[in-house]
Amino acid sequence: MPRKPMLDIERMRSAEEALRREARRLLADGVVSVFLGHEEGWDGLAVPSFATSPEDAEKLVWNPLVAPHLAKYLLDRLAGDEKVGIVVNGCGSLALERILKDRRFPRERLYIVGIPCTGILDPARVADLPPERRREVLETGRAEAGLFLDRCSWCDVPNAVVSDILVGEPVAEEPTVHEYPRAARLEAMSLEERFEHFKDLYERCIRCFACRNVCPACSCRECCLDQWEPLWLGRATSVPEQQMFHFIRAFDVAGRCIRCGECERVCPMGLPLMDFNDKLLKDIAELFGVERPHVPTDVEPLGRFDPQDPDFEEGAE
Amino acid sequence: MQPRKSGGFENMAESASRPEEARPAETRPAEEPGAGWEPVIVGFLCNWCSYAGADSAGTARMVHPPNVRVIRVPCSGRVNPRFILRAFQRGADGVLVSGCHPGDCHYSTGNYYARRRLVLLKRYLEYLGIDPRRFRTHWVSASEGQKFADIVREMTAEIKALGPGPKAKLGELV
């Protein structure tokens, strides 16, 4: 079993201090021209912040609500040769590693501040709490397991996998046996039940592309979903087109998905989008013997092969 | 079957615009199963092995159902998983992907990559609620005309028993 997620408010406060100090230094010394972090939004939740001066660094926060991954914002900084600072925790570093392994941003233009992490809360679940309870959770850190992000429940990367400097003491890493309960639940259903489950999802999808835009594995210069020629995805919002949209979105990141669940978190319709990705992760683990399919590697499972791979003519499904 | 006129591009254009009624009844797709309903199977066959295998089944005059509509691709690795889903959405009752045996790929490794994708896709389509019997993947070499004919016969019979494909449940692609 993975380490149980928990909040260590003291630890986060000292990490926040160190983060501000580090960002201030980087910006003042001109090491980076912009620093990507989080700041407090109008509703108290954490939103991405782009600090460009040492004074801006004072706005940066590190609290239980810093769920949004920042790596995707690097793509807006591709032009030019300025150096960019970025703060990542464990899962944030997976997203960053994804962008780096896909060679979408040069590593030498990055200065990465890593923060060891013991768990982050799901902002939507915290926002739903009564005000007193919310204050209590955020001030004392006493939060039940259900308030954490789904990805905390299986996290085996508490410390940043890639960083230039690590702020705070590393968290002990514990090996995790990866399970995919979401996929397993659906697999237990009949074919028709599954079809109806997904049809309901297709019908509710408004195709806002938030899931694609937030996904760290979806970083093509030109997205096939936007192309007119060939028209991979028709513009009508019919069930088959929605099915194609979700098929393309999930299958194109198969083998590269970091299982962060950001797609699901940003979905304005609250659709269970990780139902798709979980199945692909599970099967990739089973079929190709990949123990940690969510950790980016140089050549991903579908970009390589083994002559001894399971074969469909020899009884493999 | 109607007698085929000699080939040529003019004829291809003509046959493409031929009204539905003029097509042989046994190859015409129908919405409802019943007497005379024939499944439509889209077959992605690789140029170097399976297409030649289908050809050899034909030249050897092996009798097999005419339900497979062949799309020739350079390699099984060319088959984007989206093609398969789209085929189902456009009304295919079954999809067949066939390429060279592992180790025999004209491009050395194309079918190995394809195998990973297709094995994964097969499970995934089932997960999405599409009957796995509707999607078949095989290795057919250029000399295996008999195997190709057997596959087509088996698959056609199976899909005939299953009835129309997922298009009926998904609705029209507009």
Would you say residue A210 has pLDDT above 90?
A: yes
Write the residue in B112, B137, B171 that is nearest to A240 by C-beta.
B171
For residue A107, the enclosing domain spans: 9-166
pLDDT for position B29: 52
| Residue B102 in contact with partner chain A when CB distance is under 8 A | yes
Strands A34-40 and A84-88: parallel
Residue B6, CA distances (Å) to B2, B11, B61, B68 in order: 12, 8, 19, 21
User: What pLDDT, in 10s, does the model give residues A265-303?
Assistant: 999 999 999 999 999 999 999 999 999 999 999 999 999
Helical H segments across chain A, by residue range: 9-28, 90-101, 123-127, 131-140, 181-187, 191-204, 210-214, 239-252, 262-266, 274-288
pLDDT for position B34: 60
Provide, for chain B, the percentages of residues in helix, strand and coil under a 3-state DSSP scheme, each rounded to the nearest 5: 45, 15, 40
Map out the domains of chain B as residue ranges. Answer: 37-159
Q: Is residue A67 part of a domain?
A: yes
Q: In the predicted model, what is the mean pLDDT of chain A?
A: 93
CA nearest to B125 within chain A:
A247
b/e map B71-96, b = 16+ CB within 10 Å: bebebbbbbbbbebbbbbbebbbbbb
Enter the DSSP assignment of B73: E
Share of chain A above pLDDT 90, in %: 88
Q: How near does any CA of chain A get to the CA of B134, in Å?
A: 13
User: What pLDDT, in 10s, does the model give residues A149-175?
Assistant: 999 999 999 999 999 999 988 998 888
User: What pLDDT, in 10s, does the model give residues A80-115?
Assistant: 899 999 999 999 999 999 999 999 999 999 999 999
Write the residue in A187, A232, A234 that is nearest to B127 by C-beta.
A187
Q: Is residue A86 part of a domain?
A: yes
| Residue B123 in contact with partner chain A when CB distance is under 8 A | yes
A105 and A186 share one domain: no
pLDDT for position A168: 87
Q: How near does any CA of chain A get to the CA of B22, in Å?
A: 29
3-state DSSP assignment of residue A244? helix
Domain stop point among A113, A132, A166: A166
In this prediction the ipTM stands at 0.92
A97 and A194 share one domain: no
User: What pLDDT, in 10s, does the model give residues A225-266?
Assistant: 999 999 999 998 899 999 999 999 999 999 999 999 999 999
Task: Examine residue B102 and say whether the peptide bond preceding it is cis (omega within 30 degrees of 0).
Answer: no
The number of domains in chain A is 2
Q: Is residue A1 part of a domain?
A: no
Give CA–CA dist A47/A42, Å, rounded: 9
User: What pLDDT, in 10s, does the model give residues B11-37?
Assistant: 444 444 445 555 555 555 555 556 689
Q: Is residue A197 part of a domain?
A: yes
Given CATH 3.30.310.50, say whether it is the number of domain B37-159. Answer: no
| Residue B64 in contact with partner chain A when CB distance is under 8 A | no
Region A185-208 average pLDDT: 96
Q: How near does any CA of chain A get to the CA of B150, in Å?
A: 14
pLDDT for position B21: 52
A23 and A155 share one domain: yes
Region B146-172 average pLDDT: 94
User: What pLDDT, in 10s, does the model give residues B93-139?
Assistant: 999 999 999 999 999 999 999 999 999 999 999 999 999 999 999 99
A209 and A138 share one domain: no
pLDDT for position A128: 93
- CB contacts < 8 A, A to B, total 109
Residue A9, CA distances (Å) to A14, A82, A92, A156, B30 in order: 9, 34, 19, 21, 65
Give CA–CA dist A146/A134, Å, rounded: 14
Q: Is residue A311 part of a domain?
A: no
Region A178-195 average pLDDT: 95
Of A306, A187, A201, whose CA–CA distance to A247 is shortest? A201
A137 and A189 share one domain: no
Give CA–CA dist B91/B14, Å, rounded: 22
Q: Is residue A3 part of a domain?
A: no
Contact A234 B173 (CB under 8 A): yes
Q: Is residue A74 part of a domain?
A: yes
Q: Is residue A172 part of a domain?
A: no
At residue B158 the predicted structure's pLDDT band, cuts being 50, 70 and 90, is: very high
A135 and A193 share one domain: no
